[in-house]
Amino acid sequence: MEKVTAKVFRYDPSTDDTYRYETYEVPYEKGMRVLGVLMYIQENVDTSLAFRYSCRRKRCGSCGVLVNGKPRLACMEEAKEEMVIEPLPNLPIVRDLVVETTEYEERIQSISPYLVRKNRPEREPEKLLPNNFTAVRPLNQCIECFSCMSACPVNGLKWEGFSGPATLIQLARRMLDPRDDMDRIPDAGQAGFEHCVACYACVNACPVEIGILEGVIENIKKKYTEKEPSVYGKYNKTWGDLIVKNGLVNPFTLMRKVSTFDKLLSNMVIGIKFFLKGKISLKSQKIPNIDEIRTIQKVIGEKR
Partner 1 sequence: MKFAYYPGCSPQSTTRELDVVTRKIAKALEIELVNLNGAACCGSVEMRVNDPDLFYAINARTLAMAERQGLDLLTICNTCQLVLAQANQSLKKDGELLDKINQALSEVHVKYSGGVEVKHLLWILLTDVGPERIKGNLKFPLTGLKVAPFYGCHILRPKEALGFDDPDDPKSLEEFIRICGGEPVDFPGKIKCCGFHNLPYDPMLAVTLTGKYLQEASDAGANCMVTPCPLCFTMLDGYQREANQKLGSHVNLPVFHLPQLLGLAMGMGKDELMLKRNMVSTDGILRKIGRV
Q: Which residues bind partner 1 (CB under 8 A)?
A: 69-70, 153-154, 157, 159, 194-195, 197-201, 203-204, 213-214, 218, 221-222, 225, 231-232, 234-237, 239-240, 242-244, 247-252, 254-255, 258-259, 263, 267, 270, 273-274, 277-281, 285, 287-289, 292-293, 295-297, 299-300, 303-304
Smallest separation (angstroms) from partner 1 to the CB of 6: 18
DSSP class of residue 16 equals -
Task: Indicate the residue among 32 and 255 with the shorter CB distance to partner 1.
Answer: 255
Task: Indicate the residue among 58 and 245 with the shorter CB distance to partner 1.
Answer: 245
Q: What count of residues does the chain have?
A: 304
Q: How many CB atoms lie within 10 A of CB 113?
A: 17
Number of helices (H), then strands (E), belonging to the chain: the values are 13, 7
- The Cα 301–Cα 85 span in angstroms is 53
Smallest separation (angstroms) from partner 1 to the CB of 273: 7
Q: Report CA-CA distances (Å) from 131 to 121, 128, 177.
A: 18, 9, 11
- The Cα 205–Cα 150 span in angstroms is 8
Indicate the helix (H) or strand (E) that contains 294. helix 290-303
Task: Indicate the residue among 100 and 292 with the shorter CB distance to partner 1.
Answer: 292
Task: Indicate the residue among 55 and 199 with the shorter CB distance to partner 1.
Answer: 199
Smallest separation (angstroms) from partner 1 to the CB of 164: 14
Task: Indicate the residue among 13 and 161 with the shorter CB distance to partner 1.
Answer: 161
Q: Using an 8 Å Cβ cutoff, are 161 and 168 in contact? A: no
Task: Indicate the residue among 113 and 233 with the shorter CB distance to partner 1.
Answer: 233
Q: Using an 8 Å Cβ cutoff, are 149 and 143 in contact? A: no
Sheet containing strand 3-10, edge to edge, reads: 20-27, 3-10, 82-86, 64-67, 70-73
Smallest separation (angstroms) from partner 1 to the CB of 43: 30
Task: Indicate the residue among 49 and 79 with the shorter CB distance to partner 1.
Answer: 79
Closest alpha carbon to 34 in 1, 69, 65: 65
Q: How many CB atoms lie within 10 A of CB 192?
A: 17
Smallest separation (angstroms) from partner 1 to the CB of 243: 5
Smallest separation (angstroms) from partner 1 to the CB of 138: 14
Smallest separation (angstroms) from partner 1 to the CB of 195: 6
Task: Indicate the residue among 103 and 218 with the shorter CB distance to partner 1.
Answer: 218
Asked, as a colleague might, if the bond just before 125 is cis with ω within 30 of 0, I would say yes
Smallest separation (angstroms) from partner 1 to the CB of 193: 11
Angle between helix axes 290-303 and 231-246 (nearest 10 degrees) is 120
